[in-house]
């Protein structure tokens, strides 16, 4: 009897499919782990290579100007500057951590777009790694949805690798990785992914230090972008996937997360309250239509993740014909209900399917226009986090199917390689679209010719590239589609001014101000009036601009130039001093303040400011040294004057002083 038991015990492993030559489980796990990390290294290297062209791209005029190139706040890392970053809204968003990252880059590298793009690509690569770690930790707790007779700990790595590879190369991710202004999404996603990894570790081990780590990461995620407020909902979906029982403890541990979400959600609503999106949404569409739009938006992201074609940077809300939406919008709620019913009847696949749906809905909760936060109905960038759930589902089900057949793994690898090549090719082409403003808006217009804002932004791109005729043509197209497009009028006015047609430029500036009395329009009109000799009218426009925006450095600088032409030295000095108080590193203001003090006979102050301008990197050092020589000569310092004159000649100064004035432009710095 004892011998038979011994034999039975010996044969039981063989019935489970283990042969005599099978490697020990621990050695197999080590070998599989090594292979997984090698595969992950290949994925990360391929991602960096795929996005390498983006590191050579320029800034675009799609928010990069407002957040970086013309944003004076990122130029100040003093205590006052940091306080302003953490108390201000940019592009109607609260994202101080993102602004701080831009400020650090500006301090170290100036406005070199290659640096900003490289940082974005690196952040995307890090996020790919974090997606792998999160997917692996989830796949190890598959609980019945993995390959039959397989330990989940031994198939978590392949599932995670497939998930990360899809996340890395899908073309819908290009907008986030290749657009500098999407830095906020990259930063907040990085921190949220790390928080979810900590939370899964807490949920599976019970160690509260992991929960504390998740909470500590949540706050900076919110400071990077307030849409991270959806993290508590994502944690609930993780609880559902991990089969955590609903208890008071489960709810109590979410309270700190919910409080932070509520606080930052209120900040977001305050930031967006100055915009008209909410009012327009309520007035244009009935309650039923709004529900249909929300349902359609949810399905749109699923569709684009499955079939990523005809991508664009601009997807406007639908236009009603005969007071009705397109038919597909009315079908969207029915399709969504059908998907929900299908998930409910999916048997043992119900949990992974439900997890995917809940994960996507939770991460989309703030951007599917339940509460409108944008003039765009949907955006590629909003799929950056939601796609993780769908990719994880695809990896899980495909690996389970492959593991059930002897040749399944080889077929899966071949099929996956083919899919990744196709997606990678589409991503490579999409990255090229973001090369600069012109290529970006050409792509939008190629796909739709009824978007006035696309023509307006392409017109601005043409103007900035020195093509005023093309800029005027695009602004004409924008104004035909939207006669009230005040920015198009402003850009066209600047283009007319550049072509030497001040009458047409003045007419367009007047029309733009009539539509929207923006301070930059007054400032631009003031520059035009100053250039045409209407100094009193120029000062009046600058005064109006500064009433609307008293801290605008560009307007103060331009008014000081008008004061100098009027020989109003006191006014010019006061404005240059105001510029330097707002931006102590403004070399141009220091130079012209020194030149103005020289005009008034204040040689001591002239020397101080001219030396400061040279230390800051004055754009015309030859002229600055010439003025410095004059200032020293006024004070009888012959040797210093002679030395400054020698330096002026060495710096290339060859003629009498000539003041250069900034040209009329469509924007103010």
Average pLDDT, the chain: 87
The pLDDT of residue 168 is above 90: yes
Phi and psi torsions of 345, nearest 5°: -100, 20
At residue 522, the pLDDT reads 96
Structural contact between residues 217 and 201, judged by C-beta atoms closer than 8 angstroms: no
Whether 663 has a pLDDT exceeding 50, the answer reads: no
pLDDT at 150 over 80: no
pLDDT digits over 402-434, tens only?
Answer: 766 666 677 888 888 999 999 999 999 999 999
Q: Is 131 exposed, middle or buried (0-12, 13-18, 19+ CB in 10 A)?
A: buried
- Flag whether 305 is in a domain: yes
Q: Which domain holds residue 608?
A: 546-669
Q: Residue 306: pLDDT above 60? A: yes
pLDDT at residue 12 above 70? no
Q: What is the pLDDT of residue 373?
A: 66
pLDDT number for residue 266: 80
Reported as a pLDDT band with limits 50, 70 and 90, residue 16 is very low
Report DSSP letters for 610-658, one per residue.
HHHHHHHT-S-HHHHHHHHHHHHHHTT-HHHHHHHHHHHHHTT--SS--
Q: So what's the pLDDT on residue 509?
A: 97
Do 421 and 554 lie in one domain? The reply is no
Instruction: Please check the confidence at residue 392 and state whether its pLDDT lies above 90.
Output: yes
Residue of 88 and 66 predicted with greater confidence: 66
Same domain as 415, residue 269: yes
**Taking Cα atoms as reference points, which of 547, 498, 507 lies closest to residue 523?**
547
Look at residue 311 and tell me whether its pLDDT is greater than 80.
Answer: yes
Q: What is the pLDDT of residue 406?
A: 65
Average pLDDT over residues 106-132: 96
**Same domain membership, residue 419 and residue 551:** no
pLDDT band of 399, cuts 50, 70, 90: confident
Q: Are residues 191 and 315 in the same domain?
A: yes
Whether the per-residue pLDDT at 28 is higher than 70: the answer is no
Asked, for residue 526, whether it belongs to a domain, the answer is no
Q: Identify whether 395 is part of a domain.
A: yes
Q: Tell me the average pLDDT across 335-357.
A: 91
Q: What are phi and psi of 111, to 5 degrees?
A: -105, 45
**Is residue 282, in this structure, part of any structural domain at all?**
yes
* CATH at residue 616: 1.25.40.10
Span 499-521, average pLDDT:
95
pLDDT for the residue numbered 154: 53
pLDDT bucket at 8, cuts 50 / 70 / 90: very low
Residue 587 lies in a domain: yes
Q: In terms of Cα–Cα distance, which of 195, 254, 197, 255 is closest to 220?
A: 195
What pLDDT is recorded for position 378?
A: 92
Of 433, 460, 495, the one marking the end of a domain is 433
Average pLDDT on 550-574 reads 94
Report pLDDT for 271. 66
Spell out the residues 6+ positions from residue 20 whose beta carbon is closer than 8 angstroms to its own. Answer: none
> Is 520 a domain residue?
no
d(CA 425, CA 430) in angstroms, rounded, equals: 9
Single out the residue in 378, 403, 433 at which a domain terminates: 433
pLDDT score recorded for residue 383:
95
The average pLDDT across 636-665 equals 73
This prediction has a pTM of: 0.85
**Mean pLDDT score, 160-178:** 96
Written as one string, the DSSP assignment of 383-437 is GTTTHHHHHHHHHHHHHHHHHTSTTHHHHHHHHHHHHHHHHHHHHHHHHHHTSSH
Please name the residue that has the structure tokens 């570790």: 201
Which carries the bigger pLDDT value, residue 373 or residue 23?
373
Does residue 160 lie within any of the structural domains? yes
Counting the structural domains of the chain, the total is 2
Whether the predicted pLDDT of 100 surpasses 90: yes
Is 314 part of any domain? yes
Plot region of 391 (φ>0 → left; ψ -120 to 50 → alpha; else → beta): alpha
Q: What is the pLDDT of residue 149?
A: 46
> Domain end: 399, 415, 433, which one?
433
pLDDT band at residue 33 under the 50/70/90 scheme: low
d(CA 552, CA 544): 12
Q: What confidence score (pLDDT) does residue 511 get? A: 96
Give the pLDDT band of residue 660 (cuts 50, 70, 90).
very low
Q: CA-CA distance, 96 to 94, in Å (whole number)? A: 6
Q: Roughly what angle, to the nearest 10 degrees, separates helices 408-433 and 156-169?
A: 20
371 or 536, which is more confident: 536
Q: Distances in Å between the alpha carbon of 396 and those of 142, 390, 399, 407, 633?
A: 9, 10, 5, 17, 81
What pLDDT score was predicted for residue 430? 97
Backbone phi and psi for residue 20, each to the nearest 5 degrees, phi listed first: -65, -30
- Helix, strand, coil % (nearest 5) of the chain? 75, 0, 25
pLDDT band at 669 (very low <50, low <70, confident <90, very high): very low
């Amino acid at each position: 009897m004892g011998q038979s038991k011994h034999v039975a015990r010996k044969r039981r492993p063989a019935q489970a499919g283990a042969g005599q030559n099978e490697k020990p489980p621990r050695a197999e796990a080590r070998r599989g782990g090594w292979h997984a990390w090698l595969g992950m290294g290949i994925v990360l290297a391929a991602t960096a290579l795929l996005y390498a062209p983006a590191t050579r791209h320029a800034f675009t005029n799609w928010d990069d100007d407002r957040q970086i190139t013309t944003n004076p706040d990122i130029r100040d890392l003093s205590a006052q500057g940091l306080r302003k970053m953490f108390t201000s809204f940019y592009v109607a968003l609260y994202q101080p951590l993102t602004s701080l990252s831009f400020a650090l880059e500006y301090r170290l590298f100036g406005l070199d777009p290659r640096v900003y793009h490289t940082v974005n690509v690196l952040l995307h690569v890090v996020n790919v790694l974090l997606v792998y770690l999160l997917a692996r930790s989830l796949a190890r707790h598959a609980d019945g949805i993995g390959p039959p007779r397989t330990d989940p700990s031994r198939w978590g790595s392949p599932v995670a690798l497939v998930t990360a590879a899809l996340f890395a190369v899908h073309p819908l991710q290009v907008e986030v990785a290749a657009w500098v202004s999407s830095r906020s999404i990259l930063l907040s996603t990085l921190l949220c992914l790390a928080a979810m990894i900590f939370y899964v570790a807490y949920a599976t081990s019970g160690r509260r230090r992991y929960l504390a780590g998740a909470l500590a990461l949540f706050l900076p995620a919110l400071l990077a972008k307030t849409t991270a407020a959806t993290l508590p909902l994502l944690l609930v979906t993780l609880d559902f996937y991990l089969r955590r029982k609903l208890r008071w403890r489960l709810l109590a541990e979410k309270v700190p997360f919910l409080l932070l979400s509520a606080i930052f959600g209120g900040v977001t609503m305050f930031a967006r309250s100055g915009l008209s999106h909410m009012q327009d949404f309520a007035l244009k569409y009935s309650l039923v239509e709004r529900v249909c739009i929300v349902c359609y938006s949810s399905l749109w992201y699923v569709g684009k993740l499955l079939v990523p074609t005809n991508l664009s940077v601009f997807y406007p809300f639908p236009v009603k014909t005969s007071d009705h939406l397109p038919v597909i919008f009315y079908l969207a709620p029915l399709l969504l209900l059908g998907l929900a019913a299908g998930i409910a009847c999916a048997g043992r696949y119900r949990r992974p399917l439900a997890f995917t749906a809940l994960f996507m809905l939770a991460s989309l909760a703030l951007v599917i226009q339940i509460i409108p936060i944008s003039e765009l109905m949907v955006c590629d960038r909003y799929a950056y986090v939601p796609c993780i759930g769908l990719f994880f589902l695809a990896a899980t089900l495909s690996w389970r199917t492959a593991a059930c057949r002897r040749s399944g793994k080889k077929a899966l690898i071949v099929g996956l390689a083919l899919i990744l090549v196709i997606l990678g090719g589409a991503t490579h082409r999409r990255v090229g679209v973001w090369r600069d403003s012109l290529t970006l808006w050409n792509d939008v217009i190629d796909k739709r010719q009824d978007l006035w804002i696309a023509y307006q932004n392409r017109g601005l791109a043409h103007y900035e590239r020195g093509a005023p005729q093309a800029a005027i043509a695009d602004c004409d197209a924008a104004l035909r589609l939207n006669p009230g497009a005040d920015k198009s009028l402003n850009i066209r006015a600047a283009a007319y001014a550049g072509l030497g047609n001040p009458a047409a430029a003045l007419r367009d500036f007047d029309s733009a101000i009539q539509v929207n009395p923006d301070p930059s329009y007054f400032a631009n009109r003031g520059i035009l009036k100053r250039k045409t000799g209407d100094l009193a009218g120029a000062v009046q426009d600058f005064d109006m601009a500064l009433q609307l925006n008293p801290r605008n450095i560009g307007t103060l600088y331009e008014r000081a130039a008008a004061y100098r032409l009027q020989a109003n030295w006191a006014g010019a000095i006061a404005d240059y001093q105001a510029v330097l108080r707002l931006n102590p590193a403004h070399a141009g203001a220091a130079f012209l303040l020194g030149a103005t003090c020289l005009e008034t006979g204040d040689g001591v102050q002239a020397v101080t400011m001219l030396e400061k301008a040279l230390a800051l990197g004055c754009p015309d050092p030859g002229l600055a040294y010439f003025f410095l020589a004059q200032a020293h000569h006024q004070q009888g310092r012959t040797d210093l004057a002679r030395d400054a004159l020698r330096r002026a000649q060495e710096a290339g100064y060859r003629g009498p002083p000539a003041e250069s004035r900034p040209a009329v432009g469509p924007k103010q710095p």
